[in-house]
Amino acid sequence: MSENIFFERKGPFKLKELFKVNSLKKDLKIHDIKTLDKAQKSTLTFFDSLNYKKQALSTKALFCITTDKLKDYLPKNCSPIIVKHVLFELAKVTKKFYPKADIDYPDLTLNKPKKSSFSNVKFGNNVLIGKKVKLGKDTIIGNNTIIESNVNIGKNCVIGSQVIIKNSIIGDNVVIQDGCKIGAKGFGFIPLKEKNFRFPHIGKVILKNNVEIGLSCTIDRGSIDDTVIGENTFLDNQVHMAHNVKVGKNCMIAGQVGFAGSSTLGDNVSIGGQAGISGHLKIGNNVKIGGGSGVVKDIEDNSAVMGYPAVSLKEFLKKGKDIE
């Protein structure tokens, strides 16, 4: 069982401690909660949308939180736990395993870095570092920046001023410009009539080698899975990336683009400024998205789209001519 270095995990719990079940395996111990593709026999998983049908068919989990309509997509060795609201039940179980992951508590271990611990790193003024932080050789940290506990930053990185990094693993040769906030809890809530229920975020942010993040970007950590930005991808200023987003290699994302949660981008994708990407979408390789576009459905490889809602560039230009 892999360790979560950013959040303390409770348990294991017997299945009957998590749900009211009549299964013969109700005394089986559950050690963690994982996505369909990463679940093992000792972990619980969840299935709430046909967007993840492929992952459901091959999951290794023995138990899955799902609905009556979706249960037949699970393999025979995976027993469904039928509920009305998958994400609400998932949030409650996740909070039981990770009771402190639904709020970003202040890191009270922060302190000024000791030169003896980071002899090959350059620091600006008023930098604060948490416990067990790892900083690679020849990395530079700007003024008034905070690196919270257990964060790993690779070699030859440049971290600007007024940056906050938490719950993150950062590769080599990464540039993060001033004012960025990396690894905070995403905007995850279960809306209830009486009171909204916070969804714990137990994932992390992974920035691969040679990534550049522009001024004042915000990149949320994953909820159950991770938020990942692939090698050689560049973000312009004020880009917002929600939980669980996956961005491929060599992508170029212009200013003020917004990503809703759990969407996936392929390699060599270009997105114009102020475009919006809805949640749980798959954007293929070599895609071009025009500025100000609203993407509300999947986009195939090698496509060029524009408009709101985004349509093929050919169709968008034709509509423009028709208006004239």
Range of the domain at 235: 122-323
pLDDT digits (tens, 9 = 90+) for 281-291: 999 999 999 99
Assign residue 253 the CATH number of its domain.
2.160.10.10
Same domain? 246 vs 316: yes
Instruction: Tell me whether residue 106 is exposed, middle or buried, using C-beta atoms within 10 angstroms of its C-beta: 0 to 12, 13 to 18, 19 or more.
Output: exposed
Do residues 228 and 266 both lie within one domain? Answer: yes
The predicted pLDDT at position 324 comes to 53
Clarify whether residues 58 and 144 are in a common domain.
Answer: no
- Residues 43 and 126 placed together within one structural domain of the fold: no
Whether the CB-CB separation of 110 and 129 falls below 8 Å is answered with: yes
Tell me what pLDDT residue 26 has: 73
pLDDT at 150: 98
Same domain for 54 and 182 = no
HEC secondary structure over 175-222: EECCCCEEEECCCCEECCCCCCEECCCCCCEEECCCCEECCCCEEECC
Residues 161 and 18 in one domain: no
Is 7 contained in some domain?
no
Phi and psi, residue 97, nearest 5° = -75, -40
Short-list 179, 133, 186, 135, CA closest to 160: 179
DSSP state of 112: P
Rounded to 5°, angle at Cα 320 from 315 and 324: 145
pLDDT tens-digit map of 35-89: 999 999 999 999 999 999 999 999 999 999 999 999 999 999 999 999 999 999 9
Catalytic one among 85, 201, 240, 243?
A: 243
Q: Give residue 318's pLDDT.
A: 82
State how far the Cα of 257 lies from the Cα of 160, in Å rounded to an integer: 21
Residues 159 and 249 grouped into a single domain: yes
- What total number of domains does the chain contain? 2
Cβ distance 291 to 275 under 8 Å? yes
277 and 154 share one domain = yes
Q: What is the mean pLDDT of the chain?
A: 94
Residue that finishes a domain, picked among 97, 114, 133: 97
Active site residue 240: no
Distance CA 309, CA 281 (A): 14
Residue 92 sits in a domain whose CATH number is 3.40.1390.10
Asked, for residue 41, whether it belongs to a domain, the answer is yes
